[in-house]
Structure 1
Amino acid sequence: MYVPADWNATICTADGCDKPRTGVFHTLCRTHYEKSRRERNAQLAPLGFGKRCSQEGCDRPHHATGLCRLHYNRKITTGSTELQPKAAKVKSPCSVDGCAKDAKTLGYCGSHYSNYRKHGMPVVPNTRGPRGEPKLDKFARHLSADDERGCWLYSGIINEDGYGKFNLGQGRGEVKAHRWLYQELTGKTLPRALQLDHTCEVPHCVRPSHMLEVTQAQHNAHTAARRKVPAGMYYRADESPRSLAEVGYAITHRLPTVWNT
């Protein structure tokens, strides 16, 4: 049996071992301590000092209250040392109509419960549109009508200057909404030197007939002229549609087709 020889030792006191000492109440390294502990238990077992689990048929070492660790954990968790069969889970369908998944929390399946936590409702309306939807139809979902001025107001992303931004998708980035729709409905490709002047003075309006192709100097002159117009009177340069496509687009998506005064 191991008996500590030098309590001030900093390395293992076992013969031929130079590993560091690991214990407070012994002077051995971890390997030699475990070896000596097993030898001590083997010597004490015939004398009745090696306590075992009191559960019938179990020869595991004692842990607490006369039981090994396994049976002790069963006792405090289930109330019995015997292995209890798992109760069968009663499955119920998701409470959302048409969902065949099993309910997990609050009567919803995993996906509908996630929607409920994020949006306050289990079913979120689809605002993204179907895959492969034409860009012009996708764009129209962001438009609303201003019946007073006849504007097509863009309700998507608005930048710090008040102009709308439209995401083309598929990694092609964002474009100015009014400039993109103008080119789509007129079939023109505007050079960078040309700007579109909002004659309605509403920056997030995207109606092509409210736009004028101007240079920077012309744009500045028109802006100065509109500032001289009395309040309540709108400066208008041209009210005619820019193309038949604009008229058809307005009819299809129920947008103003004429300027209301």
Structure 2
Amino acid sequence: MYVPTDWTATICTADGCDKPRTGVFHTWCKSHYQQDLRRRQKERHAVGFGRSCSVDGCDKPHDANGYCGMHRGRLARHGSLELPPRASKVKADKATCSVEGCAKEVKALGWCGSHYSNYLRHGAPVVANMRGPRDEPKLDKFARHLTGDDETGCWLYSGIINEDGYGKFNSGQGRGEVKAHRWLYQELTGRTLTRATQLDHTCEVRHCVRPSHLLEVSQALHNAHTAARKAAPAGQFYKADESPRSLAEVGFAITHKLPMIWNT
């Protein structure tokens, strides 16, 4: 039995409630009284006392107007004791990517997300696969980044270029990205370059990786060549030697259809 804690209270005595008291035989506001009433009804219903919902098959405790809380809410919201059928969600047909063979939804400019990303990175929605199979030899993977200049004989690296104009290549040998021209030079000549050994581009093209266009020099000699090259007219400092550094260079050029100019 509910026993009011303070008959003289003018506001609800429930913790944290500052609404005015509404009862004569209780000291709660209307909301807290209804909550306590429902709680007591459920307790009585659980032990076999009290009214049940008047809807056939519903054994929930009576809440108001002959219904339980669920059916009373349905009647108030929908005007019926049954839930209305849900409207089927039909997705509108969305445009597909304009690239042939791609059925993905359009994101921007008529392309899907993948092809739009290619456009932002490479300037075209479709680009060649530059990764290749995982078991592909490193030299073959490297060669896919090369284009030949038949006029100068240079092997131009079309991969990542650093701020100084040199190509960068991930050799996958635990060293991360290395300079492309140094990596290919060592692979095709069999020589091991130390930190003190510099490779001077005799063709004056920094992203050229052809070993015949590279000359092993010291840091001091490299600086002297750079100063002389800046002082001389473009292309007139000295001519690149087209003689191959090794037979491996000749085979690499033939296999991957790169220019091989012979100077005698």
Q: Give the alignment's TM-score, normalised by structure 1.
A: 0.66
Q: Corresponding residue for 1:230?
A: 233
Distance 1:118 1:136, change over 3 A: same
Select the structure with the greater relative contact order (CA < 8 A; seq sep ≥ 6). 1
Aligned Cα RMSD in Å?
4.6
Distance, in Å, in 2 between the alignment partners of 1:250 and 1:151 is 11
- 2:250, 2:260 within 8 Å by CA — same for their partners in 1? yes
Q: Corresponding residue for 1:7?
A: 10
The more displaced of 139-148 and 222-231 is 222-231
**Displacement after TM superposition at 1:150 (Å):** 0.9
**Displacement after TM superposition at 1:252 (Å):** 0.7
Q: Corresponding residue for 1:50?
A: 64
Q: Corresponding residue for 2:16?
A: 21
The more displaced of 180-189 and 229-238 is 229-238
- Unpaired runs of 5+ in structure 2? 22-26, 45-49, 54-61, 90-95
Q: Corresponding residue for 1:75?
A: 84
- 2:75, 2:81 within 8 Å by CA — same for their partners in 1? no
Distance, in Å, in 2 between the alignment partners of 1:161 and 1:259 is 30
- 2:153, 2:242 within 8 Å by CA — same for their partners in 1? no
The answer to whether 1:63 aligns with 2:58 is: no
Distance, in Å, in 2 between the alignment partners of 1:59 and 1:98 is 56
Distance, in Å, in 2 between the alignment partners of 1:158 and 1:61 is 71
Q: Deviations over 1:193-228 (max 9, x none)?
A: 110000011111100000110001111122233234
The residue type equivalent to 2:65 in the other structure is K
The more displaced of 37-46 and 129-138 is 37-46
**Displacement after TM superposition at 1:50 (Å):** 2.3
Q: Corresponding residue for 2:219?
A: 216
Distance, in Å, in 1 between the alignment partners of 2:237 and 2:79 is 87
Q: Deviations over 1:62-108 (max 9, x none)?
A: 11545789966x42734xxxxxxx99xxxxxx999999xxx8x659x
Out of 183, 186, 209, the residue aligned to residue 183 of structure 1 is: 186
The residue type equivalent to 1:142 in the other structure is H
**Displacement after TM superposition at 1:51 (Å):** 2.4
Distance 1:188 1:127, change over 3 A: same
Distance 1:49 1:198, change over 3 A: closer
Distance, in Å, in 1 between the alignment partners of 2:63 and 2:221 is 104
Q: Corresponding residue for 1:82?
A: none
- Unpaired runs of 5+ in structure 1? 13-19, 79-85, 88-93
Q: Deviations over 1:104-137 (max 9, x none)?
A: x659xxxx96645644799875331011111111
Out of 133, 138, 141, the residue aligned to residue 138 of structure 1 is: 141
SS, match of residue 62 in structure 1: helix
Which runs of structure 2 are paired with 1:110-259 in the superposition (5 Å)? 115=114, 118-119=117-118, 125-169=128-172, 171-233=174-236, 235-236=238-239, 238-258=241-261
Number of aligned residues: 227
Q: Deviations over 1:28-47 (max 9, x none)?
A: 5999863333447988989x
Q: Corresponding residue for 2:59?
A: none
SS, match of residue 166 in structure 1: strand
Distance, in Å, in 2 between the alignment partners of 1:230 and 1:49 is 98
- 2:153, 2:259 within 8 Å by CA — same for their partners in 1? yes
Distance, in Å, in 2 between the alignment partners of 1:238 and 1:33 is 98
Distance 1:45 1:191, change over 3 A: closer
Distance, in Å, in 2 between the alignment partners of 1:224 and 1:124 is 40
Distance 1:154 1:106, change over 3 A: closer
